[in-house]
Amino acid sequence: MKHRALFPVAVALAAALPLAVIAAEPLSVLLPPWVTLPKDMTDKYTEKTKGTLDIQTLGWDEIRTKIVTSMVANTAPASATEMDWSWVGQFGSAGWYDDLSGILSDDLKKDLPTTSIFTYDGKLIGVPYNNDFRVLIYNKGHLAKAGIGEAPKTPDELLADAKAVKEKAGVAYPIGLPLSATEGSATAWYLLTKAFGGELFDAEFKPLFVDPGSAGYKAMAFEISALKDGLIDPASTSLKDVEIQELFKAGKITFDVAGWAGNLAVYTDATKSQVADDTAAALVPNVDGKSRTIGLPGALGVPVSAKDKETAHAFINWMLDPDTMVDNYVKLGNLPTRISVLDKLNKEGKLKQGDVLIAQAAVVEPLFVGGAPGWYPEFSAAVATNLNAAAKGEVTVDQAVAAIAAAAEEARQ
């Protein structure tokens, strides 16, 4: 089935991207764990550019800390670094990253619609390479053992199905959600807020999650209730999102509730997953018949104080090369950001659970319509800290959301 309305071919895949000849010294690159490039990919980089890479891999939170610490000290953490969607406001206002608009052709910009998310004050400070949005990923084998024939469509159905799987399929903790004091826990709560039909803030950034009848409050209550009911592993209070993914691959959980769309390529790969044949995807459950999800793409940026900027530009262009993007998806589960590459994968039947992904992609929403504000990191840290405290029983949901709202108000001052 063709879906040209969603994935039009903007540029010919055969068109070569400009790649400069790389200097002899390895290019320093700072990336998250989900972009741990395997040797065959780095070998291809060397073959094409004659250069080598010095890749440092750190967790999402650790990358941000290193960037902030380095840039405050007027040194570059690396010549090319991860640029998360949520850092654009803070890093853009600080003037820490170069404008990369000039390294992309007009056709390539059209093929990368999420560049708008990484544009600050007219400057493109990050080039998107990882098209991350969330979808419900589940183990259909577990559901079959519990006598369930289809994926849950509402949060209530998700809880009911999880209880049935726990009782009938012998899965100790069916729901996979991170509850540690990390960004991955915060973003899962954001997704669930959308699932419950609401928003985090109004147009003036007034918190909308404090009232017990609000979607954000219900989302956090959902998580804490599922934990208390034994549907979420108590160890999740110390687990990151990438560790939840490992549990899914091992068949330990049934629902990866805030599943990364690209991870379907990994989950369905028998060489990397124990549940390859049982992995399936469905639209994010919702309360009003309309599925919603959030887009949290990742990009690459070049610090203003970086060395080897020309080499860094060439690395970014290599990461945007269609062959590299396909490798990145098939081997690491990072969904391409170029719509032409997605179109090609889908037409070739290589986009795992493609129909579901295309349907979910059609309703992707940004977390903040006007872009992530500069105070987002402080807000997100408050979410992660207070959600974790609520999961540990140190505070109530009422206290947690009140503390988050107070932190947001303070950060905005």
pLDDT of residue 235: 98
pLDDT band per the 50, 70, 90 thresholds, residue 22: very low
Residue 5 CB burial class (10 angstroms; 0-12, 13-18, ≥19): exposed
Identity of the amino acid at 168? K
pLDDT of residue 264: 95
Q: Who's near 105: CB < 8 A, 6+ residues apart?
A: none
pLDDT band per the 50, 70, 90 thresholds, residue 408: very high
What are the structural domains of the chain? 27-131+296-365 (3.40.190.10), 134-294 (3.40.190.10)
Percent of the chain at pLDDT above 70? Answer: 94
pLDDT band per the 50, 70, 90 thresholds, residue 343: confident
pLDDT band per the 50, 70, 90 thresholds, residue 16: very low
- Alpha carbons 333 and 82: distance in angstroms, whole number: 16
Average pLDDT of the residues in 170-188 = 97
Model confidence pLDDT, tens digit, residues 193-244 = 999 999 999 989 999 999 999 999 999 999 999 999 999 999 999 999 999 9
pLDDT of residue 3: 34
Span between the terminal Cα atoms of the chain, in Å: 51
* The two three-digit tokens of residue 397, written as one number: 């949901």
Three-state DSSP state, 332: helix
Whether 21 has a pLDDT exceeding 70, the answer reads no
pLDDT of residue 134: 96
Q: Mean of the per-residue pLDDT values for the chain?
A: 92
pLDDT of residue 52: 96
- Alpha carbons 177 and 185: distance in angstroms, whole number: 7
Greater pLDDT, 283 or 349: 283
For the whole model, what pTM was predicted? Answer: 0.82
Average pLDDT of the residues in 77-105 = 95
Whether 13 has a pLDDT exceeding 70, the answer reads no
Q: Is the CB of residue 99 less than 8 Å from the CB of residue 127?
A: no
- Alpha carbons 86 and 117: distance in angstroms, whole number: 9
Average pLDDT of the residues in 64-84 = 96
pLDDT of residue 14: 34
Q: Comparing 18-27, 34-43, 254-263, 287-296, which segment has the lowest mean pLDDT?
A: 18-27
Three-state DSSP state, 389: helix
Whether 344 has a pLDDT exceeding 80, the answer reads yes
Query: Which helix (H) or strand (E) segment is 232 a member of?
Result: none
Whether 72 has a pLDDT exceeding 70, the answer reads yes
pLDDT of residue 24: 65
Whether 4 has a pLDDT exceeding 50, the answer reads no
Whether 5 has a pLDDT exceeding 90, the answer reads no
Q: Comparing 39-48, 115-124, 279-288, which segment has the lowest mean pLDDT?
A: 115-124
DSSP letter at 336 equals -
